[in-house]
Structure 1
């Protein structure tokens, strides 16, 4: 007859070691994911870290701007004022308006007026080409498009790299100037442009 071994007494158990093994088992189970799931998690973590990095840079005094060309000069406007960009097509002229008002375009069913800042700022004319784009700017009350000769892209600019002004920037252009970089990119004041009555054309008037 086989003798059944007796169970160990409670005094012989190492409870600390048992707890350590249970915790290790839980940790191992929580890490058992499929390769696809692991890739998804890593991708999400990378995206979150990149976004956090961008927010941190912006919070530390950087400006995120959309940069574009106007009459061979580089201009920029803060992305907080930019809704989107689109090609200039199917432009409908608007009679009885100032010369800097190019006309109206249809953006997915929304009628948007387009302003030519080159005429408003008295800059050299280039004429319309296939490269022309419209930068749609907006705030809580106003939306319109700004004609751009070409879109250069989005970039971050350190706040301390923006100079208040240049002696050559005078007159009406200087009123809408937020600053200028060492690379001579002119940063426009989106708030001033969106709220100046000289630019806004009221259809009811």
Structure 2
């Protein structure tokens, strides 16, 4: 029996085994490199994970808001308050109107007052030529009727996002003036959420008794 064990020992290529062990150790130190099929499966799993919608921490009270820019500043409204978003095509100025009243336009034959949001919020110099998008709040009225809708001139539309409402922060104390009046809260890191109903109810933003003419 001792002779059989000796024969078995002579039949094992210990040098080959040590060489393979050394190769595996070197591969582990370099980092594991999967073969082509394994790589394909890993990338497929990662793609499925990335395609999953983000899981919100609290699905009981979710804020969905539309983000837009005015100059370099970021603002938002709850999507439920936004009627539509338009490209600015025609604008008729209103004589003797406050500087933040940009003018009037028509939407499918109905009158829509337009507000220069940069001037309304005292943002400094935001050129009117940059404000080529209109965020419409409320419902437009037929000529001769008052109130009901408002168009806000903005620079660009960023998109729609969702987050737990509990994450909205209170307005900072340093915000004053009209911004404070219209501000609901802050969406981190630096988006100001505006109150659409407060804007619609503001008598300073209504334009009544004005004829609407088309202008290029």
TM (normalized to structure 2)? 0.63
The correspondence for 1:185, drawn from 184, 191, 210, is 191
The runs of 5 or more residues in structure 1 that have no matched partner are 1-52
Aligned residues: 150
Kindly indicate whether the alpha-carbon contact (under 8 Å) linking 2:105 and 2:111 is maintained by their aligned counterparts in 1.
yes
Corresponding residue for residue 168 of structure 1:
174
CA distance in 2 between counterparts of 1:161 and 1:67 reads: 16
Quick one: structure 1 residues 130 and 177, their matched pair in 2 at CA, closer, same or farther if it must change by over 3 Å? closer
SS in 2 for 1:193: helix
> What is the CA distance between 1:177 and its match in structure 2?
0.7
Residue in 1 that maps onto 2:105: 105
SS in 2 for 1:172: helix
Structure 1 runs of 4+ with >2 Å offset? 56-59, 128-131, 198-204
Verify the 8 A CA contact 1:71 1:124 in the aligned structure 2. Answer: no
Which string of whole-angstrom CA distances, capped at 9 and with x for unpartnered residues, describes residues 93-125 of structure 1?
Answer: 111211111111122222211001211111122
Q: Cα distance, 1:71 vs. partner?
A: 2.5
Instruction: Say if 1:162 and 1:181, in contact at 8 Å, map to a contact too.
Output: yes
C-alpha root-mean-square deviation of aligned residues, in Å?
2.5
Contact map agreement 2:83 2:139 (CA 8 A) in 1: no
Listed one character per residue, the Cα deviations across residues 73-104 of structure 1 (whole Å, up to 9, x for unaligned) are 11001111111010111111111211111111
TM-score, length-normalised on structure 1? 0.66
Structure 2 unpaired stretches of 5+: 1-52, 141-146, 211-216
